[in-house]
Amino acid sequence: MVYLDNSATTKPEKAVADKVYKMLTECYGNPSSFHKAGLDANAEIRKARQHIAKALSCDADEIFFTSGGTEANNLAVFGTAAANKRKGNRIVTTAIEHESIMESVAELEKQGFEVIRLMPDKYGNITKEQIFEAVNSDTILVSMMYINNEVGSVLPVEAIKKAVARAKALALIHIDCVQAFGKVEIKPQKLGADLVTVTAHKIHGPKGVGALYIKKGTRIIPRVYGGEQEKKIRPGTEAAPLIAGFGVAADMIPNLKEQTARAQELCDYAKEQLSQIPQLKINSGENASPYILNIYVPVFMTSQTVVQHLSSKYEICISNGSACAKGKRSHVLTAMKLPDNVTERSVRISFSRHNTKEDIDALVNALKETTRDYPIR
């Protein structure tokens, strides 16, 4: 099988799977218990928290575990709105965010908050000028992804803190780094971020666990109420096996500079080979992340059918957009104002550190056959 859907999820490293298994079978105590089994489990959580904090260049007590990126995003958005609703009413985001942000701000809009959604250009780019124009003194939250999950556009998140300062706003800054974590350097303090979302299964860790960085002194209101876990920000018995696996995955993140250079080489090779297919177009911009490549496939099938065809006939796994959208029309490509025929026939290729040029060759050959056998009419 050729797996090129790494923006949806990645294959867990063996060391990660081994850690999860060991936690399930040997270190299975409740982390809140005071006997040895509980203390051992708690120690593993502390170790994982330290590994993730190191990867983010922050303090361990600024890391709060969640069930994944979606929960962390919800906690950031709703938690900020609830804590700061008396300070202002405006929320600034973009029209190309992950569904967990899009749906959250839509709900807040129903509750009376003013939501500003910045529109991208035809490559999915947002400009610094748009951010400066949108943020005003009434803004309480700016929530933006670092790297878009469908086309790979890199958003100018470093401009947010300057925009907030210039507007003299009391806004908190939330950056969704799910697609950036483990691929680019992320230093919340340098970015001016109060809140940062990351997740395990995009960095070869287990599914079902993520984390929210919360800057010391930042006040947000919890979404769940219960015990003392995670300083009451996210109570409930911790998923110690998944958290421990997350820690191992974070500790295994390779040298970012070397990894990015290799990803860029692979992406450039893919573009070169794909250019041999007549009428095929690349939707991702020149400055997009090298880990994500969105393309238009000139066939009479829809993108979902292309994905199923490549999987069933060639055992090649790609995506027709965000996995969380479950096959719905891409709101990202729609916001980019791409023609309907392009939006309906575009797919996403996404790489990991384990992909090779041979994987690209297999995909290109399969697409050549597919476009020949099912030409657009």
Q: Which amino acid is at 283?
A: N
- Distance between start and end Cα atoms, the chain: 31
Taking CA atoms, 184 is separated from 21, 255, 289, in Å, by: 29, 10, 9
Q: Compute the distance between CA of residue 18 and CA of residue 182 in angstroms, rounded to an integer.
A: 21
CA atoms within a 13 Å half-sphere pointing along the CA-CB vector of 124: 29
What does the radius of gyration of the chain's CA atoms come to, in whole angstroms? 21
Active site residues: 324
Structure tokens given for 359: 């994987």
